[in-house]
Amino acid sequence: MHTAQAGGNNDQVQGFAPVAGAGARVLVLGSMPGVASLRQGRYYAHPRNAFWPIAASVFGFDPGLDYEQRLQALQVARIALWDVLQACERPGSLDADIRGDTLVANDFAAFLERHPAIVRVCFNGAKAAALYRRHVLPGLAVPLEYVDLPSTSPAHAAASFERKLAAWSKALTLTD
């Protein structure tokens, strides 16, 4: 999925399609997959990223399941995954290195039309929240609840796993 532009710029990255079941209620948004994820074609593929251990703890599945089974477990829990950006230029994996003049946001209006049960959007880190609020939210007319969460990235070491787990557990759990 990591693509080079015709001009030879290897910093051009393309995101993934969303993972969402028909009954998805919560949408988890990152900014753009990191290098490890892009290489493997999988969300949150870096071995030190806390996303899968957190999701497994919250929803009671084995974080060692193969990728497709982990995605199925999220869909059973009515959780969708996507990223704010469809494409951008970024050397490496750090959100801080995303070139602002190159970003292309995903089509959230069409996504939310296809997934009308979504009521909450959880941002995996401050950059995802900022990008969404600047490049997506002004064009949306859908009332949603927004929750800013500590990044599960290994680059965000300021928060302990326990603190991240507590915040994510509360945000991912809806009471119907």
* Phi, psi dihedrals of residue 123, rounded to the nearest 5°: -95, 125
CATH number for 94: 3.40.470.10
| pTM exceeds 0.85, yes or no | yes
2 in any annotated domain: no
At residue 176, the pLDDT reads: 62
Give DSSP secondary structure letters for 76-137. HTTEEEEESEEEEE-SSS-GGG--GGG-EE--HHHHHHH-TT--EEEEESHHHHHHHHHHTG
Q: Is 49 tagged catalytic?
A: yes
Cα first-last separation, the chain: 37
117 in any annotated domain: yes
Q: Sign of the C-alpha dihedral, residues 143, 73, 166, 63?
A: negative
Range of the domain at 41: 12-172
Q: Which residue has the higher pLDDT, 165 or 96?
A: 165
Domain count, the chain: 1
106 in any annotated domain: yes
Of 9, 10, 49, 124, which one is the catalytic site residue?
Answer: 49
Give tens-digit pLDDT for 92-150: 887 788 888 999 999 999 999 999 999 999 999 999 999 999 999 998 988 999 999 99
Mean of the per-residue pLDDT values for the chain?
A: 91
